[in-house]
Amino acid sequence: MEYIPDRYSSADNGFSYPSSQIIYPAPLRKGDRIAIIAPSSGVNPEAHHLLHRTREYLEQLGYMVTLGDSVWTNDKCVSLPKAERAAELQQFLLDEQVQAIIPPWGGEFLMELLPLLDWDRIREQPPKWILGFSDISTLTFAYTLQTGYASAHGPGAIDISGSDDPTTSIWLQMLTAADGQSVEQYSSTHYQTVSDHSQPGYNLDTSTEWRILGQEDQPEASLQFSGRLIGGCMDVITVLIGTKWAPVNEFIEHYAASDSVIWYLESCEMNAGDIYRHLWQMDQAGWFRHAKGILIGRPAGYSALGNFELTDALQQVFGDRNIPVVYGVDIGHIPPQLTLINGASAIVSVKSGQGSIVQTLD
């Protein structure tokens, strides 16, 4: 049966957006098929064993696994030419036998696939889970905004295999949750500062602390806020500002009356000045209107710009506004990371440097 959600039309640009709440993919069940494809960067031959490790891990969990042609090659930062990557991605998005898509990791240029996808056909299909971070958040961000279907920001296929870390492994609980179910995730105790894919799991060597902007000198500081989650990697989702692939303002206005929005953001390869510029651009584009809170992940590849630090960047954008900001959160390139659902309702609680996020698929 053809699946066509109810829609309303935006008077401003003709964009059609779901009139109901966020639509969640069916929960993953044993026997379902998961596709591992590389719509951004592929995997070089010396790391192919990681793909086999992931397939074995998922099969042990009871899932069927398909490895796409794109995962085996990587050249000039991409797995295959953009037309081939787009065709493969659309094939699996439309394949009724595939219940989830989990790329191995991120990359650089996923944005070039968005104009090549047939979004009308994608909207006519039941939603399916897409899980990833970094450049994959270009896809998950656009997928939710274009369709009203939930998507998941969390560990890639390479990261989930063989790790018994409780923060990482909760991806499975999130993707097997049913409509209306709530799942609580907690801040990690430690995070990893040096990446090493040669062994399963992580070397968690540094204590985790979720910090509240402006209350760093208050060890017992606490806060709580709620809203509907949306976000991704700042390096790549900000490239979509001003394009039709990111109707953020329509999303915000649609949910402002009932929920408002919690932004979660991570970064890679940006210094404090870069982060400020990206946040400033998002703010000028109106993306932080009606925001109930901001979650900032541990920045990877980060450095200060002179004596201008991350906290300076955050203060410049949010310091004089009544929007709570939490940074050092388990999101993004420095593992372990939470699995956050684009579109889910969330309650964020922070106290004494530790935190929790309760997500409800409603």
In this prediction, residue 161 carries a pLDDT of 83
| Domain shared by 294 and 155, yes or no | no
| Domain shared by 124 and 50, yes or no | yes
| Domain shared by 171 and 189, yes or no | no
- How many domains are contained in the chain? 2
Given 147, 178, 209, the domain boundary residue is: 178
Three-state secondary structure of 148-184: CECEEECCCHHHHCCCCCHHHHHHHHHHCCCCCCEEE
Question: Phi and psi for 219 in degrees, rounded to 5?
Answer: -60, -30
Helices (H), the chain: 48-60, 82-94, 119-123, 136-147, 157-160, 166-175, 234-237, 248-256, 272-284, 310-318
In this prediction, residue 21 carries a pLDDT of 82
3-state secondary structure of 294: strand
Given 154, 178, 202, the domain boundary residue is: 178
| Domain shared by 237 and 105, yes or no | no
| Domain shared by 228 and 152, yes or no | no
Q: Is omega for the bond preceding 115 within 30 degrees of 0, making it cis?
A: no
For each successive 10 residues of the chain (362 residues), what is the average pLDDT?
Answer: 32 46 95 98 95 96 97 96 98 97 97 98 96 98 96 96 86 96 98 79 92 94 96 98 95 76 96 98 95 97 97 96 96 97 97 98 94
266 tagged catalytic: yes
In this prediction, residue 6 carries a pLDDT of 36
Question: How crowded is residue 239: how many other Cβ atoms within 10 Å of its Cβ?
Answer: 16
| Domain shared by 204 and 286, yes or no | yes
CATH code of the domain in which 228 resides: 3.50.30.60
Burial of 312 (0-12, 13-18, 19+ CB in 10 A): middle
9 domain residue, yes or no? no
In this prediction, residue 24 carries a pLDDT of 97
Question: How crowded is residue 25: how many other Cβ atoms within 10 Å of its Cβ?
Answer: 19
| Domain shared by 108 and 209, yes or no | no
10 domain residue, yes or no? no
In terms of residue numbers, what domain contains 104?
Answer: 33-178
Instruction: Pick the catalytic residue from 266, 267, 345, 349.
Output: 266
Instruction: Pick the catalytic residue from 134, 137, 187, 345.
Output: 134
Q: What's the pTM?
A: 0.93
Give the Cα separation of 62 and 31 in Å (integer). 6
Question: Phi and psi for 252 in degrees, rounded to 5?
Answer: -60, -50
Instruction: Pick the catalytic residue from 79, 333, 345, 349.
Output: 333
Given 157, 178, 199, the domain boundary residue is: 178
CATH code of the domain in which 155 resides: 3.40.50.10740
333 tagged catalytic: yes
